[in-house]
Chain A
């Protein structure tokens, strides 16, 4: 337990100390919020869908959590190349403990970033439906964060270096984000797209956040919660398995 805490704390310290990364990671959500939010706002409203900022903000929060947590997981490659991984692997500590500490640390960082974006969205005019919304949104953010940190760790356990990273970004992270319904409502899209979205884990995260924050839901909050919880469990299990098989 103590070791999980130590590893968790390590991730947090690394996060707090790399200010440029914090600011850099906020650039993208702000850009999405401003360019898309204000850019498409008028059209969205004319189509009778209400305020686009209200609709988009939960999507942008989900995006932030997705990117930060995938990165936190993939950071394992960094540890492999700069050596700290070896220090953890020769320590008399079960691999599962190490994996859990890392995942919780990375997930916490991702949730913090998500909350910062929540604050920025509020500045840009986003209004959550009430105070009860926040703890529920937090729960969804935590699930998204755990799911994708563990997924990132699983991927990083298999990759040897950053060569494959671009591949992961273009063929996994980007599609997961763009097809999740973070930017558009899933209710009227063509069937194939709806089908793809329904197998996109982030779609349930975005939908869960939206139901928590503005009371709009496509799949239903209970479904979102169940799917995310199940997928998180699977991804932590797969991540732990692949992590335990790392040989140096």
Chain B
């Protein structure tokens, strides 16, 4: 379903993704794990036509996202790392606009919106503006929306960021259910190891733009001799904190110095 070969993306001097290769089969749940700034989101953006790769090949359902953009766009649904709903509109209106964008015929659109909103426990609140929704409800609505046009692939970019354990649990149950019932291929990124271990059939660990290991959770633990996936992850990526974080701290420190001098 997804085929990636020697995919590279550079921004000026910075190499965000450095020649990664992997494949995701139809109906699989595939997790991308990595520290901050490892290149997860950049990869998703290239797979979903938002960025053009510097070099390498990408195939989504046999199509090239850099060339056959709109054809590729019809085939996936995406839940972004940060929200992408229109706060002023109601849940139903957000769904309806999405249906129009993807040319879901009007009658079918209404039926599917109702089914998805019921499935995600949002039907009662369909006429409330999204600005009154909690973080968990927004996430659920985003996933429901991503599924409205019956995509073959669902991309989830850290979908559980900032959610409480109950909501996270519910969300993964739904994702697993959708994958089992509708055979949706799922490509997800997350920071939470136990989540990846719970839902993903295969995992790729990416660090500094390179894939350092891939395989089933068991494979990864065996490879590193670790007991938990978290230990395996740390063994593969090291325990140093990443530049992104470090430079933010640096900035704060230098600011603090400036203030003291005054």
Q: B110 to chain A: closest CB distance in Å?
A: 15
Pair A247/B84 contact, Cβ less than 8 Å: no
B106–chain A nearest beta-carbon distance, Å: 9
On whether the beta carbons of A247 and B50 are closer than 8 Å, the reply is yes
Query: Across the interface, which residues of A come within 8 angstroms of B168, CB to CB?
Result: none
Q: State whether A83 touches B45 (Cβ < 8 A).
A: no
Total interface residues on B, CB under 8 Å, equals 30
B84/A3 in contact, CB under 8 A: no
Q: Provide the residues of chain A in CB contact with B84, threshold 8 Å.
A: 83-87
Whole-angstrom distance between the alpha carbons of A83 and B138 in the complex?
A: 12
CB-contacts of A70-93 with B (<8 A): 82-93
| Stretch of A12-20, A111-119, A230-238 lying at the B interface | A12-20
Measured between alpha carbons, how far is A178 from B67 in the docked complex, in Å? Answer: 47
A13 partner, pick from B45, B89, B101, B145, beta carbons under 8 A: B89
Instruction: Please determine whether B49 and A2 come into contact, CB atoms closer than 8 angstroms.
Output: no
- In the assembled complex, the CB of B11 is this many whole angstroms from the nearest CB of chain A, namely 10
Q: Are A84 and B86 in contact (CB under 8 A)?
A: yes
Which residues of A are found within 8 Å of B93, using beta-carbon distances?
10, 13
Chain A residues closer than 8 Å to B232, beta-carbon distance? none
A6 interface residue per 8 A CB criterion:
yes
Nearest CB of A to B149, in Å? 9
Q: Bound state CA distance, A17 and B127, in angstroms?
A: 13
B88 within 8 A of A: yes
B63-113: which have CB < 8 Å to A?
Answer: 69-71, 73-74, 78, 80, 82-89, 93, 96-98, 100-103
- Cβ contact within 8 Å between A13 and B100: no
Cross-chain contact of B98 among A7, A83, A86, A87 (Cβ < 8 A): A87
Alpha-carbon separation in the docked complex, A87 to B73 (Å): 11
Q: Write out the residue numbers on chain B whose beta carbons fall within 8 Å of the beta carbon of A84.
A: 84-86
Instruction: Check if B51 is an interface residue, CB within 8 A of chain A.
Output: yes
With a CB–CB cut-off of 8 A, which chain B residues contact A94? 70
B195 → A minimal CB distance (Å): 22
A18, A92, A247: the one within 8 Å of B51 (CB): A247
B101 lies within 8 A of A93 (CB): yes
CA distance A80 to B86 in the complex (A): 11
Cα A17 to Cα B50 with chains together (Å): 31
Known contacts A10-B86, A86-B84, A87-B85; A3/B50 CB under 8 A: no
Question: Is B85's CB under 8 angstroms from A83's CB?
Answer: yes
Closest to A93 in B: B101
CB <8 Å contact, A92 and B102 = yes
Contact between chains at A18 and B85 (CB < 8 Å): no
**Smallest Cβ-Cβ distance to B49: which chain A residue:** A90
The answer, yes or no, to whether B48 is at the interface (CB within 8 Å) is yes
A17 surroundings in chain B (CB, below 8 A): 88, 129
Interface residues of A in 3-41 (CB under 8 A from B): 3, 6-7, 10, 13-14, 17-18
CA distance A248 to B78 in the complex (A): 15
Q: Which of A2, A7, A86 contacts B80 (CB 8 A)?
A: A86
Across the interface, do B98 and A90 meet the contact criterion of CB distance under 8 Å? no
A13 to B93, CA, bound (A): 10
Tell me the minimal C-beta distance from B139 to chain A in angstroms: 12
Contact status B101-A91, CB under 8 Å: yes
Q: Which residue in chain B gives the minimum CB-CB distance to A17?
A: B88
Give A76 Cβ to nearest chain B Cβ, in Å.
13
CA A6 to CA B109, docked complex, whole Å: 14
**Chain A residues with CB below 8 A from B45, complex form:** 248
CA distance A88 to B100 in the complex (A): 11
Q: How far is the CB of A144 from chain B (nearest CB, A)?
A: 25
Counting chain A CB atoms within 10 Å of each CB, the highest count among B74, B80, B97 belongs to B97
Among A13, A89, A91, point to the contact of B102 (Cβ < 8 A).
A91
Interface bits A88-128 vs B (CB < 8 Å: 1, else 0): 11111110000000000000000000000000000000000
Most buried by A among B49, B73, B88, B101: B101
* Given A6-B100, A14-B86, A92-B101, 16 extra CB contacts under 8 A: A6-B96, A6-B97, A7-B97, A10-B86, A10-B97, A14-B88, A84-B84, A85-B84, A86-B50, A87-B145, A90-B73, A91-B73, A91-B101, A92-B73, A94-B70, A248-B45
Contacts A/B (CB < 8 Å), 13 sampled: A6-B96, A6-B100, A10-B89, A18-B88, A84-B84, A87-B84, A87-B85, A87-B101, A92-B69, A92-B101, A247-B51, A248-B45, A248-B51
Q: Which A-B residue pairs are the 8 nearest by beta carbons?
A: A83-B84, A91-B101, A92-B73, A92-B70, A6-B100, A87-B84, A86-B84, A83-B83
Binding site for B on A (CB under 8 A): 2-3, 6-7, 10, 13-14, 17-18, 82-94, 247-248
Binding site for A on B (CB under 8 A): 45, 48-51, 69-71, 73-74, 78, 80, 82-89, 93, 96-98, 100-103, 129, 145
